[in-house]
Structure 1
Amino acid sequence: MSTRTFARAALVGAGALALLGPLTAATAFAASDTGRGADRVMAAPYAVVPYETVNVRSGPSTSYDKVGSVTAGQPRGAYCWVTGQTITDNGYTNNVWVKLVEGYVSAVYLKGDKYGDLPASARC
């Protein structure tokens, strides 16, 4: 196998792993989540974890109805992120809301970066 062919095969393999990464992470979170919602984590391509109990809304603002909540530390499946109402809490300000299986949560309450550790490209 030539060096060029080997390099191309390595790049293709790395690309496949990058595509499977979010699914693998969601599956790993689901496998460790023995409580309610494990199926909800597996249903989405990403997993997010709130660092405190957070309200889930029907849209990306506190003016939308509360449709539930997620307990601190409990992984949840996530699809994408949108911009919405700006939220300031615990010294952080952000207008990014993450779409979960159940609804929307402000990324201010999620572990990780400003997108709740979703890729910047995972915009809804």
Structure 2
Amino acid sequence: MRTSITKALITAAAGLVLAGAAATPAAAVPQQTRTAAPAVTTATGNITTWIQGNVRKGASTSYDIAYTVTANQQLMGVCWLTGGTVDANGISHNTWVKLSDGNYIWGGLLKGDTKGGITTKC
């Protein structure tokens, strides 16, 4: 009999707790402020070199060399643009990719197409 009374008391207490929670006005529950997520651009992405070459401070060989990359090195491309034409490795074109560090790499050094897969023009 005690077990039945204990179960009844527990059930009644749980019902009171739930009723109290349901009766809490919505205004009393703090609301989190949501901000819009930053826009994600499809311009950036990993690009990979297929051969060693120079990364430059501008989109032409007339700019200083910032650093040299090795074959199969991954870089973060931001966008592509038309710059100085380069004739090297049996390739000739004027497409350059701007990197996340602000420097530029000639598309002839990249795997894939002349833009390394970057789709957005600078």
- The TM-score normalised by the length of structure 2 is 0.61
**For residues 85 and 113 of structure 1, what CA distance do their matches in structure 2 show?**
17
CA contact (8 A) 2:47 2:75 kept: yes
Gaps of 5+ in 2: 1-38
What does residue 104 of structure 1 align with? 104
Alignment of 1:68 with 2:67, yes or no, is yes
Q: Is the 8 A contact 2:46 2:76 kept in 1?
A: yes
Counterpart secondary structure, 1:83: strand
What is the alpha-carbon root mean square deviation over aligned residues?
2.1
**Aligned partners of 1:57 and 1:83: how far apart in 2?**
14
What is the TM-score when the length of structure 1 is the normalising length?
A: 0.60
Q: Partners of 1:45 and 1:90 in 2: how far apart? A: 26
Structure 1, unpaired ranges of 5+: 1-18, 23-43
Higher relative contact order (CA 8 A, sep 6+): 2
Aligned partner of residue 108 in structure 1, secondary structure: helix
- Percent identity (aligned): 40
Residue 59 of structure 2 aligns to a residue whose secondary structure is coil
Q: Which runs of 4+ in 1 moved over 3 A?
A: none
Q: Give the structure with the higher percent helix.
A: 1
